[in-house]
Amino acid sequence: MRKLLNWGLLGVAAAAITVSVIGVQAKADTTLDKDLKEYKPVAGISGNLVSVGSDTLNNLMTFWTEGYRKHYPNVTFSVEGKGSTTAPPALTDGQSDLGPMSREMKTEEINAFEKKWGYKPSRVAVAIDALAVFVHKDNPVKSLTMPQVDAIFSSTRKGKYKEDVTKWGQVGLEGDWANQNITLYGRNSASGTYGYFKEHALFKGDFKPAVKEQPGSSTVVQLIGEDRSGAGYSGIGYATAGVRAVPLAKAEGDTAYEATAENCYNGKYPLSRYLYVYFNRAPGKEANAAVREFFAFIHSKEGQEIVLKDGFIPLTSKVVEKNSSYK
């Protein structure tokens, strides 16, 4: 699922979600879909679960496991978040039960899993993310187009912007900002966020060598907050008071939209995406009981409240209903 357009076809009412925005940073003032169900624990759940994958999802997975273990103290968890690229081989080799990813699995990753197990991996959408272009909180840039974002971060400019962008004055800033060089921060190639940004923001082009790659999203945002000329990309859940997310337009002349829940639900924000957890489930068989209940917990009102508290965007009941392959 490349982008979150078609929400209307799912009967999702964006009016069920309200978002308070301070500057352009969405705050956890959102209300959940009223049709999300309360979680009901079941008897006999125990065991050990291992999660290997996305850094973007690392905090969410940790919070979910903490909430889950309040219901099932006999389940132990190990959560490792070094990047989405680490999830497929860990699942394929049987070294993990859960593979959090901030992007879809690539064809070659699915093929490797299928060669080992004889069937494709299963996946569940667990939250929604607005991949944000962050700048320092004092940066006055009002908005950017996707071709401008490409010209800032890429060496290939497949978005066909008129020029390579290296200074803030080239995207409309004046005064002492005009001649300031843009310092670039991003994720490393093991990250699903890196891959998603490369495909959707760079039009499948290449990053500039000047992008300072970081192993984690929180580090990217921290460095931008310390660098007045900085710009970088990360999931909206890692926003801090030191940065702000720039409203984005798909093309010159189009309206720029902030990274809010409503703009992700209706498909207007250009860099909205699902966050997934992949798992191993043989066709015709139920998932491991501890895994099954973990997904049920994530999809409950309690689980999606955790999504809100961590700064991401909750699923609606319609999306939960369509993501029940673990049952």
Contact 2, 270 (CB under 8 A): no
Segments of the chain scoring below 70 in pLDDT: 1-30
Report the pLDDT value the prediction gives residue 18, as an integer from 0 to 100. 31
**Those residues with Cβ within 8 angstroms of residue 315's Cβ, 6 or more apart along the chain or in another chain:** 33, 36, 125, 126, 127, 128, 299, 304, 307, 323
Q: Which of 318, 317, 323, 302 is nearest to 40 (CA)?
A: 302
Domains and their CATH numbers in the chain:
32-127+274-322 (3.40.190.10), 130-272 (3.40.190.10)
- What pLDDT does 30 receive? 63
Q: What are phi and psi of 33, to 5 degrees?
A: -55, 125
Q: What pLDDT does 326 receive?
A: 86
Measured distance CA(156)–CA(205) in Å, rounded: 6
The amino acid that residue 109 corresponds to is: E
Residue with tokens 């250009």: 270
pLDDT tens digit string along 35-64? 999 999 999 999 999 999 999 999 999 999
Cβ neighbours of residue 16 closer than 8 Å, sequence gap 6 or more: 31, 33, 34, 316
Q: What is the pLDDT of residues 260-309, one digit of tens each?
A: 999 999 999 999 999 999 999 999 998 999 999 999 999 999 999 999 99
Instruction: Say what the pLDDT of residue 325 is.
Output: 81
pTM (predicted TM-score): 0.85
Q: Between the CA of residue 59 and those of 5, 100, 133, 234, 237, what are the distances in Å?
A: 27, 11, 20, 14, 9
